[in-house]
Amino acid sequence: MIDNDAARQNNAVDGRPDAVQNRFGFLSKPPSREELVTNNGIILYLEDVTLSFDGFKALNDLTLYVEVGELRCIIGPNGAGKTTLMDVITGKTRPDSGSAFYGQTIDLLQMSEPQIATLGIGRKFQKPTVFEQHSVLENLELAMKSDKRVWVSLFKQLTGQEKDRIEEVLNLIGLTDSPRKMAGSLSHGQKQWLEIGMLLMQDPLLLLVDEPVAGMTQQESEATAELLTSLAGEHSVVVVEHDMEFVRSIARQVTVLHEGSVLAEGAFDVIQEDPIVRQVYLGSS
């Protein structure tokens, strides 16, 4: 199996006409949680999603619902379709059939990748992509601003509220002591947290995180579990992870993906005892 993650991360956006027909029109500002999530508390609806690559079904009739404020773990062996699922949600890849709604009214399949990025859906790829030549603080500042060209001199212009938010995020990601440190000199784990922090600067309602603990030390993994847990409630967080121990430490609602479909879903304790899950997961990981 090919690891396409790096390639996909760098891929150009697939162009789509900007025909957005929903009650928000073209969004200059992300919808609020209240606007988006109405009576049933669901923020993301994926129904019967199928996506083939040359006849191979990377996603096969996949149905998944994510609730507002939920921390959902998606596990599954390599090649199960986890990253592809995130590609569909963020508009990087179009499914052949099925539907994907953000809240009850926003049809993600009618929107381009840049449009989806304005909706309050933040995505963390597997590899950290921080600005290595800039400080932790500058990275967070850049993430907050929409005009990235003039950002180097922006710190002076931050409002009190923005400064507070930066402080808050530094604290959440455990980098309070190193705001002036060059991002390039951070540990691998710290870079991953900084990138999560950069996403947080945009106050996403839905945060998608792909294999956050790959390459992390045990200690970094534990801190990451803590960080993601602390984000739930305020944000809906979907964490894709291959590492069972990490998922165990989060111990939330788990969806097991296998060959592009949902194999099982439920509380971690129940899932880990499921004989089919054990067979599939342990047999092929």
Nearer to ligand ADP, 97 or 157 (CB): 97
Residue ranges binding ligand ADP (CB under 6 A): 1-2, 4, 53, 58, 76, 78-84
For residue 104, give Cα distances in angstroms to 2, 40, 243, 248: 35, 9, 32, 31
- Of 4 and 229, CB closest to ligand ADP: 4
Q: How far is the CB of 5 from Mg ion (least distance, A)?
A: 6
Window contacting Mg ion (CB under 5 A); options: 6-14, 53-61, 79-87, 191-199: 79-87
Which of ligand ADP, Mg ion, none sits in contact with 122, Cβ below 5 to 8 A by type?
Answer: none
**C-beta closer to ligand ADP: residue 82 or 124:** 82
> Which alpha helices (DSSP H) does 13-159 contain, by range?
33-36, 82-89, 113-117, 136-144
Whose Cβ is closer to ligand ADP: residue 169's or residue 208's? 208
10 binds, among Mg ion, ligand ADP, none (CB under 5 to 8 A by kind): none
117 binds, among ligand ADP, Mg ion, none (CB under 5 to 8 A by kind): none
Of 78-86, 137-145, 160-168, 187-195, which part binds Mg ion (CB under 5 A)?
A: 78-86
Which residue's CB atom is positioned nearest to Mg ion?
A: 83
Positive or negative: CA dihedral 246, 264, 231, 212: positive
CB atoms within 10 A of CB 104: 14
| Binding status of residue 84 toward Mg ion by CB under 5 A | no
Residues 6+ away with beta carbon under 8 Å from 190: 174, 175, 178
Contact of residue 150 among Mg ion, ligand ADP, none (CB under 5-8 Å per partner type): none
Given a contact cutoff of 8 angstroms between Cβ atoms, the answer to whether 239 and 58 are in contact is no
CB of 8 to ligand ADP, least distance (A): 7
Answer yes or no: are the C-beta atoms of 99 and 47 closer than 8 Å: yes
Nearer Cβ to Mg ion (72/82): 82
Q: Tell me how crowded residue 196 is: count the other CB atoms within 10 A of its CB.
A: 23
Figure out which of the listed residues 73, 75, 77, 83 binds Mg ion, where binding follows CB under 5 A: 83
Written as one string, the DSSP assignment of 122-187 is: EEE-SS----TTSBHHHHHHHHH-S-GGGGGGGGGG--HHHHHHHHHHHHHTT-TT-TTSBGGGS-
Residues 117-156 interacting with Mg ion (rule: CB under 5 A): none
State the sign of the Cα–Cα–Cα–Cα dihedral 159, 163, 165, 166.
Answer: positive
Helices (H), 187-217: 188-200
Name the minimum Å distance from CB 75 to ligand ADP: 9
Query: Which residues contribute to the site for Mg ion (CB under 5 A)?
Result: 82-83
